[in-house]
Structure formats: C-alpha cells, structure tokens
Structure 1
C-alpha cells in the first residue's frame, strides 16, 4: 500500500516581502545557506547521539544568541512553536523558511525515520551545486569584466591620448589607417555609441537571465545545446531529480510527486514536469520513457540514458539516488570545461583587440617621429 502524504493547512510557502518584512529579512538575509548548513550538520551529528530535534534547535539558537545574533533564534523559535503548539512535524514546521528542494529531502528523511542522513544528503547536494554555480558565475563574470576594462581603456584613450596623437603628426593631411582604427574604437566608448552599446549589452544580459527560468517551447530546447541554458538545465535538472527521488522514497507516488513539484515551479520547469506527468499516468509510460518521449531532453540526454539503463526492479529509486552523485560530478566537470572554454575565448579575443589597438598606437607614434603617414 502506498503511503500518501497529507499536507496540512499550517504548511506555508516561504514568506513574501509584503507579508512580514521582519520575517522576510530574517529568512533571506540571515538564514542563508551557510547558516542552514551549520544547523543541518549539527542535527546530523546530534541525532546520531540520540538528541531530539527540538533540543538541537534550542542548542543552535543559544549559540546564535551568544554571538549576539537575533534573527536566526527568532526563526527557530517560530519553528519550535509550530512543532509544539500546532503539532507539525519538523519538515513542515521548517518549510516556510527553507527552499523547496531542502524541504523535500528533509521530509523524505523524516518519513524514513532517518533525518540525520537526509541532512547529510542536503549538505552534499548543496555543496555540489554550489561548486557548479561558482564555475558558471566565473564563466559569465570574466568576459563581462574584460568588456568593462576595454571600455574604460577606450574611453581614456579617446579623452586623453587620441587628441594629442592626431594633432601631433607633422605634415600629415590624410588620416592613416591606424588613426582611423583608433578613432573608430574610441568612438565606440564615447557619446551616444557608448550608451547604445552598453545599453544593448545590459539588455542582452538581463534578457538571458530572465529567459533561464521563463523561456519555454521549441526555441528553448534548441538554446539548451549551448551555455548558459545548457548549464542551467543541468543544474536545475540535478536539483529536481534529487528532490523527486526524495519524495518518492518518502512514500509519495511518482505522479503525486511531480504534481506537488509543479506547484510554484518556474514556467520552464513546469513545462518539463507537466510533459513527464502527462506520459506517466494517462499513457502508462515508465519514468525514462516519459522523459525521452517528451522531447525536451530533461533533465539531460545523458541522465535519461543512465536512468533507462538502470531502471526497473526493486530499489529503482535507490539506485537513482546513488547515480545522482555521479551525475553531479559529471555536471561539475562539464560546467568547469565550458567555463574554461568561455574564459579562454574571452581572453584570446581581449588580447587580439588590445594588440590591435597597441599596434595602431605604435604606428601613429612612429609617424610622429618620422613625419610620414602610413
């Protein structure tokens, strides 16, 4: 018989900024991952020493108070009240203050009677995804930094160097190719051109950022063959399937788990979960068949192949949980490789542009010394 998980009306979503400003600030500014990770590790260790959850929460709250921190103790007091006064289990009491993926894994551990292992799993997954995210941010930051440096260099050249160079070439009436190159490059960083280029760049970055959780349809599937959409798909796919496995192992059916995860999911994720759900129940497909038949390549083509290879029989979801660690390693290596390729391309392009400007400047300097245009 399948265990159905019933969610009470007391289980709230994460607080919104307009609902309770103090609580919102506590959650988003103080109860961040580093703080939660310390709490999770303490729970993992102490519960193996037969300490109760409420005792551990009070212990961590006292530690925070000794450091003169009030936000986290205030949240933990709220969690304890929800557990004692409303009779909620730990996962439900903590639910408003943590991301959904953490809640699902803690819920799984609580249902299985092993919260300590669930805490270890949360920390492991978050650590892995954190490394992947840092690699992805690094890949995006370096090209943007190069562009900013190049614009500053061109702006300084346009304001301080080019006027003296252009007026310092004796006997030259026609502009040389080097002068044309420098003037053109400098014009890109000054006046209306600078606003147009920088505005377009910012608009492109914002559009790409907004498209990651929102863009759907066939175009999105095509874009996911290249970064940053491929990186986003891999990371979110890993987080999703880890949470999905946790829910199923907690006793929820796969269709109920997908329906639950679709609540509050981004348009991009909802499209993929809806496509899998439509094939699991009505069409009676297995999980890997539903993923393949959807045509959305989610969580990724490689993961779908691995699931299909190990699917079936008793303990299928347990095997998937073990495989997910291997997927995380592969995603991390792939992201690092893509980040290195992007950095290498950006560095090479920056060196070529800087070299061209230096050559042009040297040519003008030679003209000033020799008096002959090039």
Structure 2
C-alpha cells in the first residue's frame, strides 16, 4: 500500500469516527426505536426510512426553518443550514436499498450494532435487531456514564486538592520566610513540602496527570501480557466487563440468527480492536480444536467475557437449544453487568470523596497549626 493510499485510508477512518460522534447514543436509540415500531406494525424497511427522513427533515424550530428558507432563497445552497443527523443517516440507507441496512449506514454506527443489525437482517428478523440495538445503546450509555462519573469526580477532587495546596504555598508560606519548618509537626511539614513542590512544579504535575489519563485511554484497546494483567484492576476491569457483556450479547444474536460458531466469531473479530480480537481469536482456536465455545473461552485464559459467566456458558454450550438459552442469558447478563459497573463506579466515587476529605482535613490542620505559632 502506497503512502497516498494510507493517507486516504486514515482520512476515511477519521471521517467515519466524526460521523459516529454526531450520531450520538441518544439519536441512535431514537432511530432504532422508531424503525422498530414502524416495521413491527408491518411497514417495509424502505418506507419506514423514507417516513423517518421526511418527518425529521420537517422537525425544526421556527428560527431554524426561517434560516433554512433564507439559505434556499439567497444562497441557493443545496443543503439546509439545519437538519437532523437522522435525516443524513436515512438518506445514506435509502441510497443503497439493495444492501443490508448495517452496511448502508456502516459509517454511522459502531461495530457491535452493525453486527447485530446484519445478523438480524440476514436471519429475516430485522425488527429484533432494532430492539436489541435499542436496548444495547441504552444499557451501554448508562454503563459508560457510570464509569466516567466514577473516575471523573475523583480526578476533579484531586485537582481541587492540588489547587488548595498551591494556594497554601502562595498565600500562607510567604509569611514564614526565615521560620524553620522543623518546629512543626510531621503532618504540617509534609503539607508544606508537598505544597512547595506543587507551586514550583505545577506544570510537571499537570503534564503527568494528563499523560497518565492519555496512557490509560490508549491502553484500553491494546493487547499483550501487561495489558492482560491490568484486566483485574479498574478502569481496565470496567472495560472488560462492559465489552464482555456486549460480546456475549452480539454473539448470542448471531447464534440465534443461525450463524455457525466459527463464522460468528470471525464476524465479531473483523471489527474488533486488538484487545477484543485477541480474545475472540483465542476462543476460535479452541473451537477449532474441538471444544465448545464455553470451554474454549475458559481455556483461552483471559477470564473473558467474565469469570462469573464462564461456567454458566460452558455448562449449556453443548445443549441442543444453546442459541436460545445463550440469548436469554446474554440479555440478563447485560442488565446485571450494567448494575455491577454502576455499583463499582459508585464505590470509586466514594473512595475519591473520602481521600479528598482526608487531604482537606490535613491541609486545614496544617493551616491551624501555622496560624497559632507566632512568627518572629
């Protein structure tokens, strides 16, 4: 592949990422729910997409409609200033009526939802695919919001503590010029030393925190022995729980659609990141060795999709109604995982509050000790 081809491929990937960002989880939930209701009532796919496009093209505020009319009259632009992203998604789907919906809007939706839609339409039950995608979007949104909240608040609290230490060093310590710090208690001495470090090297602390956050985000989708060991600690353990539940749900959907185990795993691996692909490929290797999917996941050694789910999946993987049973279990597991993630994120939040409160108390004690000693 030439450098120019790589550049075009990278630009296409960036464009797809930006499109998916515009088509938010909330809008995708509305999109799936509306199509589900239309097609469950007997409306054909193309007709449902046309109705959805036309309705959202007219769904504008008074000011937005006025500006669109001005644009059409004076600038004669073919595209209105304001229109819903749902209109663009429906138009992309309507332009490719002969391909599955998952491929027609592949640049708008994540790989998991694309796989679910493709498997459902291939089995002739696209309505079920809408329903599963809607539920997945709702649960995934709640899980990730819980994870973000659970780790954002402690970070903000830590930054608040650093700001207090910086203020302590710039407003309080200048009064102590010439005063020997050894006259204070060890706690106050530690607070003074740390506040001076933050005052003098605040940029290094800020760069370190930003680098740590960026490294964590980068490492989530990576593979390797170090990354595998991190699966047992937050936030990597949350990542494993969320994607493990989504994998199980997607795999169950493919199985219910009649797709063989190896083909289903290959389909999921196509759009997986390196971390998930490593686990899917390990499971596929076990299946090719003659093990059922439950035993193959266990033998892979990644505790994926989850340590608690492995014995359950293994116990009924060789049964005749495996696809139906796995589907029911995957739905329940998705719900229980959402609750576990929220509970664990809440614990992280309370731990952060406790640690921040301890720091604030230590700073307050140091402040009181300093103000009670006369300076000469």
Give the whole-Å Cα distance in 1 for the aligned partners of 2:127 and 2:370.
Answer: 70
Where does the alignment leave 5 or more consecutive residues of structure 1 unmatched?
1-14
Report the Cα offset of residue 95 of structure 1: 2.8
8 Å CA contact 2:116–2:129 kept in 1: the answer is: yes
Q: 1:18 aligns with which of 7, 11, 25?
A: 11
Report the Cα offset of residue 184 of structure 1: 0.8
| Number of the residue aligned with 1:125 | 136
8 Å CA contact 1:107–1:250 kept in 2: the answer is: no
Give the whole-Å Cα distance in 2 for the aligned partners of 1:20 and 1:184.
Answer: 48
| Number of the residue aligned with 2:366 | 360
1:98 aligns with 2:109: yes
1:64 aligns with 2:64: no
1:155 aligns with 2:171: no
What number of residue pairs does the alignment pair up? Answer: 345
Give the whole-Å Cα distance in 2 for the aligned partners of 1:24 and 1:236.
Answer: 19
Where does the alignment leave 5 or more consecutive residues of structure 2 unmatched?
1-7, 61-81
Q: 1:290 aligns with which of 288, 296, 310?
A: 296
Report the Cα offset of residue 308 of structure 1: 1.8
Instruction: Label 1:273 to 1:59 Cα distance change in 2 as closer, same or farther (>3 A).
Output: same
What does the per-residue CA deviation read over 1:57-99, in whole Å, with 9 as the maximum and x for residues that have no partner?
A: 111111221124064323322211111xxx2233332333221
Moved over 6 A (4+): 20-24
Q: TM-score by structure 2 length? A: 0.84
Instruction: Label 1:35 to 1:70 Cα distance change in 2 as closer, same or farther (>3 A).
Output: closer
8 Å CA contact 2:231–2:240 kept in 1: the answer is: yes
Instruction: Label 1:74 to 1:344 Cα distance change in 2 as closer, same or farther (>3 A).
Output: closer
Give the whole-Å Cα distance in 1 for the aligned partners of 2:17 and 2:148.
Answer: 26
What does the per-residue CA deviation read over 1:197-216, in whole Å, with 9 as the maximum and x for residues that have no partner?
A: 33222222222221110032
Give the whole-Å Cα distance in 2 for the aligned partners of 1:341 and 1:20.
Answer: 37
Report the Cα offset of residue 34 of structure 1: 1.6
1:39 aligns with 2:50: no
| Number of the residue aligned with 2:232 | 225
Instruction: Label 1:24 to 1:64 Cα distance change in 2 as closer, same or farther (>3 A).
Output: farther
The more displaced of 89-98 and 117-126 is 89-98
What does the per-residue CA deviation read over 1:98-149, in whole Å, with 9 as the maximum and x for residues that have no partner?
A: 2121122112322333222221111112211221111111111111111110
| Number of the residue aligned with 1:191 | 200
SS at match of 1:88: coil
What does the per-residue CA deviation read over 1:22-49, in whole Å, with 9 as the maximum and x for residues that have no partner?
A: 7765x23432222221111111111122
Q: 2:93 aligns with which of 79, 83, 101?
A: 79
Give the whole-Å Cα distance in 1 for the aligned partners of 2:272 and 2:218.
Answer: 15
What does the per-residue CA deviation read over 1:132-179, in whole Å, with 9 as the maximum and x for residues that have no partner?
A: 111111111111111110111111222222213x15x9xx66652256
Q: TM-score by structure 1 length? A: 0.85
1:181 aligns with 2:196: no
SS at match of 1:347: helix
